[in-house]
């Protein structure tokens, strides 16, 4: 095989990369959600902070000192970063449904890594053991994933 056979493949890849970059730039420039408030309820405590809209809920929680377990680093592949969305957050995504039972979907549970902040949002962080119990009951618990355990 010579180099001439790879030229069309390289051209198509170059075009696709260019389109991807242009879409990312267009989203950043054209879509502005502004400042959004995140209200977090955990145990008997409530915290509130303001973040830039269009960003990820999990990253905003961790950057503001709210501990959320996520063994996959926010890639949506472990299902451990469950939060209950009380207000805002939009509809559940198909990438989240595989980690949720019908009861959890009905109770507005979401994966924090999959929620994009587009408006003010109020969430409740469930008890860590409750999340684990529910995953075991629903047979969604993967023992090969690593857990970060914070004991206070």
The pLDDT of residue 104 is above 80 = yes
Q: What is the mean pLDDT of residues 120-138?
A: 78
Residues 27 and 50 in one domain: no
Residues 16 and 89 in one domain: no
Residues 41 and 74 in one domain: yes
The pLDDT of residue 144 is above 70 = no
In the predicted model, what is the mean pLDDT of the chain? Answer: 84
The pLDDT of residue 141 is above 70 = no
Burial classification of residue 151, based on how many CB atoms lie within 10 Å of its CB (0-12 exposed, 13-18 middle, 19 or more buried): exposed
Confidence (pTM): 0.68
CA distance 42 to 37: 16
Between 97 and 3, residue with greater pLDDT = 97
Residues 17 and 48 in one domain: no
Q: What is the mean pLDDT of residues 23-47?
A: 86
Q: What is the DSSP secondary structure assignment for residue 128, as one 8-state letter? A: H
Residues 40 and 73 in one domain: yes
Positive or negative, the CA dihedral 106, 111, 114, 115 is: positive
Structural domains in the chain (count):
2
Looking up tokens 């709210």 gives: 66
The pLDDT of residue 140 is above 80 = no
Least confident of 17-26, 75-84, 90-99, 132-141: 132-141
* Closest by Cα among 106, 151, 105 to 128: 151
**Domain assignment of residue 25, given as a range:** 1-31
Residues 11 and 64 in one domain: no
Residue 152 lies in a domain: no
Residue 150 lies in a domain: no
The pLDDT of residue 91 is above 70 = yes
Residues 25 and 63 in one domain: no
């Amino acid at each position: 095989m010579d180099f001439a056979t790879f030229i069309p493949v390289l051209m198509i890849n170059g075009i696709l990369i260019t389109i991807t970059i242009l879409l990312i730039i267009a989203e950043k420039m054209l879509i502005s959600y502004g400042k959004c408030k995140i209200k977090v309820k955990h145990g008997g405590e409530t915290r509130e902070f303001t973040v830039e809209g269009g960003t990820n809920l999990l990253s905003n929680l961790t950057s503001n000192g709210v501990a959320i377990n996520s063994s996959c680093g926010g890639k949506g592949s472990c299902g451990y970063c469950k939060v209950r969305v009380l207000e805002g957050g939009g509809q559940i995504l198909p990438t989240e449904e595989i980690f949720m039972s019908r009861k959890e979907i009905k109770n507005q549970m979401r994966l924090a890594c999959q929620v994009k902040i587009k408006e003010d949002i109020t969430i409740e962080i469930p008890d860590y053991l409750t999340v684990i119990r529910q995953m075991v009951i629903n047979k969604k618990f993967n023992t090969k994933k690593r857990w970060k355990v914070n004991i206070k």
